[in-house]
Structure 1
Amino acid sequence: MIIKKVINIILSLIFLIITSLIWGVKQADLALFIGSVLTFVGVAFFAQWSLLSNITCSIILFFNHPVKLNDSIIILESKDYVIEGRVVDIGLFFVTLETKESGKITLPNNIFILKSIKNITNEIKISNDNV
């Protein structure tokens, strides 16, 4: 079956090349067209990958992530830069945080999964229970 498919693809390509030669298509025009099509397909696949990644991460966030709505969290971006806020919304593509300084911040779900997150809601509850 696979060999038949490969042979059919090769024969179709040979047919297209012969037809384009008969019609007088220039090689430079053909190369430009093929390059444009491949660029378009590459961009479409990249966009599709990004969307599917965010949707998959939203499912992971829904079922298995320790952060829930209204939790206060700290996202450790780097050594000197942290984002502190409260989780307001977990959507299909984005997680929305409400911060004290800059209002609302939306983070893509795949970035939210990849970053180190410290849930400070549990620490607040534990410290209130001890008092």
Structure 2
Amino acid sequence: MRDPNVFDGKCPTRVVLDRVGDKWAVLILLLLASEPLRFNELRRRIDGISQKMLSQTLKSLERDGLVGRKAFATVPVTVEYSITELGRTLYSAVDSLRLWAETHLADVVAAQQRYDGTEGLSQAA
């Protein structure tokens, strides 16, 4: 296998970056880092995620080895998700992004407002 080159469109690292850059994947990893959770608990805690999107994202994270799934023999079957050791290695980077976003939110909003204000003027000219 050749050395990874993230700028090459065929490089498998793109798949990993797509997963890491997905907002739903990030939110799921952030929640599972503190405790294992069941599907419906994840859905309740992540505002705006659909059942279908949560299911798809969990399957992708499980396939990538970032999340583990444990089924319990109950009626109906209870399924619990947890972060894996590999997922924990990613968690610190993801949590750093969360902290950056929280710290710089006001700066980003101010920049957007400045841009939107000047963008409207330049388009009118």
TM-score, normalization: structure 1? 0.25
Structure number with higher helix proportion: 2
Structure 1 or 2: more strand by fraction: 1
Of the two structures, which has the highest relative contact order with CA contacts closer than 8 Å and spacing of 6 or more?
A: 2
